[in-house]
Amino acid sequence: MRMKKHNRGTGKITGMEQISKVSGIIGPVRSWIPLSLLWIFLSLPWIPHSVQAQVSLRYAQNETVTWQEAIDMYGWLDRQYEEAVLMKAGETDAGRPLHLFVISAGGIFDPDSIRAAGKAIFFINNGIHPGEPCGVDASLKLADELLSGKDPYARFLEHTVVAIVPVLNVGGMLNRGSHFRANQNGPVEHGFRGNARNLDLNRDFIKLDSRNTRSLVRLLREWEPDVFVDTHTSDGADYPYVITLIHSPQQRLERVQSEFLNGTMLPFLYDAMKNTPYEMIPYVWSMDQTPGKGIVGFMDYPRYTTGYTSLFNTLSFTVETHMLKPFEDRVLATWHLLRAVLQFCSTHPTEIREVKKQAMEEKIGRDTFTLRWEQDTSRYERLSFKGYAARTKPSLVTGHPRLYYDRKAPWKKEIPYYKYFNPVIQVEVPEYYILPGAWQEVAERLRLNGVEMKEFTADTVLEVEVYYIGDYNTRREPYNGHYWHSETSVRRENERVRFLAGDLLIPVRQEAIEYLVQTLEPRGYDSFFSWNFFDAVLFRNEYFSPYIFEETAQEILEADPGLKREFEALRSGDSVFSANPYLQLRYIYERSPWSEPTFRRYPVCRYSL
């Protein structure tokens, strides 16, 4: 399957710019060398070898590639093989493009044609946290060896197309240093977690503050991957395993998908890794301080890559290699896992696609969704686990007892794996949401996610369900650029609301159904309300002057004996209230017709015919 490129017989590529052969490592010179000369230059036989040597992988020497080296190497692979293309896929906050590298044995590079050919799409995202670059190097090794035929797993490309984001967080990767990962064993130089705007991109998938994540979301909606893997390095406890795996908790998935994941795919992946030097274990998040008393599952809410991709029924995984293992082992363990996923995709392409299709039917037919989950600490599975004895000794720094893991005292036993969650907040699905067009930042994000909606062509009055925001907690310090809200309570009312021409009517039963419910329901953990998109409704625009309102307040109380009784009860029972005349007048104002009706009224309405 190895072919030099002379004529590129590729399919159409929509929404992305395919990089020409003159970009990449020789990009800087293309502006002044005539194109024809470049073709001659590139066709010289010694060029590929020198380029290959320049970008050779150095993970065995505890080094990771730079962003430029990664792009150069993918560019070189693009020029060498008909089965590979490096594309520019939108912008990043660092001003340099996001790239996508696609390996397609049939030479078809547009996602619709790939799906029509019955192939599975396996999507790998790297460098969201550039301090954890195992996947960056592992993906380069994977691509190089699959395309050259050195890797016998190249045969699995027959039924699967591999799409690789070389580096999502370009700015973080360019910000290279040696002291960003205090708890990590190399590589010597690595990138920084925050992007060019200091955002943690693995919290950005709903709010979409970064151009990086917007570009990736556009890509994901265009490619609709069957399987998605995000590559990381872990923090936390010490134990012998080099590699751990996170997947969406089974309750978050549709039934058919949960059964396929737990019954077929996960056993395959764990078994496959047993046949490598790197046995894999579920992600180790200790129930207690150390894993000895059990580990817990991870609830991947939609802010995370895999939480987001799961909304659209992609089978999604986060790979976390262990921070204290040598970089070479972390790269190789990640590489083995990526190969195992490729093998699985190629040996189950029809099932994967059928399960995804059925899961989408299940999802679109759902009556309720869960907005918040809590760990079920009463239910667990037993997990065979290898650990190190956790002990304490006096700290020579603080004088207090300190934790340490004794690697000379390994243990193996069954520990509880608390992988179940219980729903805390559920909501029933309306037929439509109505989003006033004024909230254009939200509308823009819905469009980016492929949501289908219609504009009202004339002003229209409808009887709808509206929410009034009650209590909520707000973080005291900004979290990823936002004062994130949580624990939001709402009151629901039926009201006649006047919508304007241009407001957006959004049918809920479409492929984005769960995305819509999780983002537009204000109590959603990662809703647009939680991420501050609707904070303006929490502000009271109009007010009253106490000395002018005195007479009106008196008339209101006289006309409403019930209100007067409540008012007097508060005055006699609440000393703060009775000592504060302004509070008393405000109490009456807020219950009067002059109090603005849209204060705290959440703008997105629920509408059912």
Residues at the interface with Zn ion (CB under 5 A) = 129, 132, 232
3-state secondary structure 65-102: CCHHHHHHHHHHHHHHCCCEEEEECCCCCCCCCCEEEE
DSSP 201: G
**Based on CB atoms, which residue is closest to Zn ion, 218 or 232?**
232
**What's the min distance (Å) between Cβ of 298 and Zn ion?**
12
* Shortest Å distance, C-beta 131 to Zn ion: 8
The residue count of the chain comes to 609
- Rounded CA-CA distance 478/204 in Å is 14
- Closest CB to Zn ion among 132 and 526? 132
Least CB distance to Zn ion at residue 230 (A)? 8
Tell me whether residue 257 or residue 310 sits nearer to Zn ion (CB atom): 310
The candidate with the shortest Cα–Cα distance to 515, out of 324, 341, 364, is: 364
Alpha helix (H) ranges present in 384-485? 440-448
Query: Minimal distance in Å, beta carbon 132 to Zn ion?
Result: 5
Nearer to Zn ion among residue 160 and residue 305 (C-beta): 305
* Residue closer to Zn ion (CB basis): 129 or 339: 129
What does the alpha-carbon distance between residue 229 and residue 320 come to, in Å, rounded to a whole number? 11
Main-chain phi, psi angles of 385, to 5 degrees: -135, 140
**Cα–Cα distance between 293 and 289 in angstroms, integer?**
9
Minimum distance of Zn ion from residue 276's CB (angstroms): 22
Nearer to Zn ion, 129 or 218 (CB): 129
| The two structure tokens encoding residue 459 | 């002003």
Q: Which of 505, 506, 507, 503 is nearest to 459 (CA)?
A: 503
Residue showing tokens 């817990």:
296
Supply the minimum distance, in Å, between the C-beta of residue 200 and Zn ion: 9
Q: How far is the CB of 232 from Zn ion (least distance, A)?
A: 3
Structure tokens at 467: 């929410």
Which residues does residue 315 pair with via DSSP β-bridges, in sequence order? 227
Q: Which is nearer to Zn ion, 232 or 348 (CB)?
A: 232
Q: What's the closest the beta carbon of residue 268 comes to Zn ion, in angstroms? A: 25
Rounded Cα gap, residues 131 and 306, in angstroms: 19
Q: Which has the closest alpha carbon to 141: 49, 74, 46?
A: 74
CB of 164 to Zn ion, least distance (A): 17
Q: Which is nearer to Zn ion, 169 or 488 (CB)?
A: 169
Q: Toward Zn ion, which CB reaches closer, 177 or 277?
A: 177
The label of the residue with tokens 């929404």 reads: 15
Q: How many helices (H) and strands (E) does the chain have?
A: 18, 22
Residue with Cβ nearer Zn ion (200 or 226) = 200
Please, which residue, 176 or 571, has the CB nearer to Zn ion?
176
The two structure tokens encoding residue 15: 């929404």
Among residues 175 and 313, whose Cβ is nearest to Zn ion?
A: 175
Amino acid at 319: V
Q: How many CA atoms lie within 13 A of 564 on its CB side?
A: 9
* Distance between CA atoms of residues 569 and 575, nearest Å: 11
Shortest distance, position 70 Cβ to Zn ion, whole Å? 17
Distance CA 205, CA 515 (A): 11
Cross-strand bridge partners of residue 161: 121
In angstroms, give the least distance from the CB of 181 to Zn ion: 10
**φ, ψ (nearest 5 deg) of residue 593:** -65, -15
Shortest Cβ distance from residue 210 to Zn ion (Å)? 16
Give phi and psi for 368, each to the nearest 5.
-135, 155
Please tell me whether residue 233 adopts helix, strand or coil conformation: strand
